[in-house]
Each structure stands twice: as structure tokens, then as C-alpha cells.
Amino acid sequence: MISCDDDALAAGDNLAVLGSELIQFGAATALGGGRFRLTHLLRGRGGTEWACGSHMAGEAFCLIQVSALTPITMPMSSIGALVSGQADVATASIEFGAQSVRPLSPVGLQARFAINGDLVLSWIRRSRQGVAWIDRIDAPLGEMREQYQVDISGPGGSIEVIADEPSLAIAADDLSVLGPGDATIEVRQVGDLAISPPVQLGTTLP
């Protein structure tokens, strides 16, 4: 493993998978015995920030050379099934999660109450077809249609609303079933074949 500068990181160098998280590292310091200390980390690459808090000692780490990858087409019926692969005499099995067809979670979830008591929500769409942030250019949709599932849980109950754009206003009367107090808002993008992990925000209901 070797270090690289920020330009090389932007080009995708020093990409690795740790457990279920994709990371990049800018500096690799040899410690001897085949061990390295990796610093200047870029975490949660490719929309894998949901895996940042799930690491355990001894989990798999693998450097990724994108040009050396060979795509394998899997039938959609394989999602959730255990698939096996073999290289030489070694065999490995893994649950096929089809993360490549799962939308990325939205970001920038904001909530405010209008003067009339309505809850006004907004968020920013991301796309598995446009992971990079480009100034003044919206991320491509990457799905056949734009749709979001909004779940709000409060002390008295919960509600689910479907939105067709990255914003939503929920009438005060509809919020009454949740009861006053702390509430949790989750927004997921609904994709063609799967639903994204949630972006989450806490608020206080009047």
C-alpha cells in the first residue's frame, strides 16, 4: 500500500472495502509485519455511510482496483439469497444484498413548522448514478420515477406519507395522531428495485 495525494483520491485511488463500508485513504504508514496505519481517510464512499458504525474487530478488508473488477450479472431472484464463489481451492459465501441497485439515502433533511402549524420538510436527493457532488448540477435521478417514503413516529403513534418530490408539507391536523413531544422523521428514496437507507431527523411536536 502506498500513499497518494488529494487529486489521486478524487480520481478514485486507494479505494478499499472494510466490512460493508467503502473507504479511501491518503496516507499509508508501514508498521512492519505486513501491517499498515491508514490515515487521511475518506469514509462512507459510494453512499456506504450507513455502514460506518457497524465495524467489528477482524472483519474483512480488501483493496479495490476498479480496472481489475469483472462485473457478474445476477438475476433479481438472487436478492437476499446466499451466493457462493470459488477461486482456486477457496470457496466463499455471502448474502447477495444487491446494494448497487439500492438508491442512496437522501441528505440534508430539514424540518420547520409553518405559521398554521403544518410541518414542512425538505431534503436533497442523491443518486447511485451520480455519486460525485458537482456544483450547480443536480444529481441524476437514476430511477424510473422520483418517489420518497416519509415516516414520522411520535409519542402517540406514527404516520407514513409518499412524496413525489424532495419536499413535503404535512397538515397540522394529520400530525395530531402523533401526540405532542419528541418525534423522529425518516425519509427514504423508493427505487425501481429497492428502497434506500433512511436519513433521520429528530424534532419536537407541539
Give one DSSP letter per residue of 21-67, joined into a string.
Answer: EEEEEEEEEEEETTEEEEEEEEEEETTTGGGTT---TT--EEEE-GG
Query: Same structural domain for residues 111 and 196?
Result: yes
164: in domain: yes
Cell, residue 148: 420518497
93: in domain: no
CATH of the domain at 115: 2.60.40.10
- pLDDT tens, position by position, 56-96: 888 888 898 878 888 777 777 777 777 777 766 667 777 77
Q: What is the pTM of this model?
A: 0.73
Q: Which value, in Å, is the radius of gyration of the alpha carbons in the chain?
A: 21
pLDDT of residue 161: 95
- pLDDT tens, position by position, 117-171: 999 999 998 887 765 656 666 767 778 899 999 999 999 999 999 999 999 999 9
Last residue of a domain, one of 51, 68, 85: 68
User: Could you give the number of structural domains in the chain?
Assistant: 2
- pLDDT tens, position by position, 28-64: 999 998 889 999 999 988 878 888 888 888 888 889 8
* Structural domain boundaries enclosing 182: 107-205
Q: Contact, 164 vs 174, CB < 8 A?
A: no
Last residue of a domain, one of 68, 96, 119: 68
37: in domain: yes
Query: Same structural domain for residues 192 and 124?
Result: yes
Identity of the residue numbered 97: G
Alpha helix positions (H), the chain: 6-10, 172-175
Q: Is the pLDDT of residue 200 over 70?
A: yes
Burial 8-34 (b: 16+ CB within 10 A, else e): ebeeebbbbbbeebbbbbbbbeeeeee
49: in domain: yes
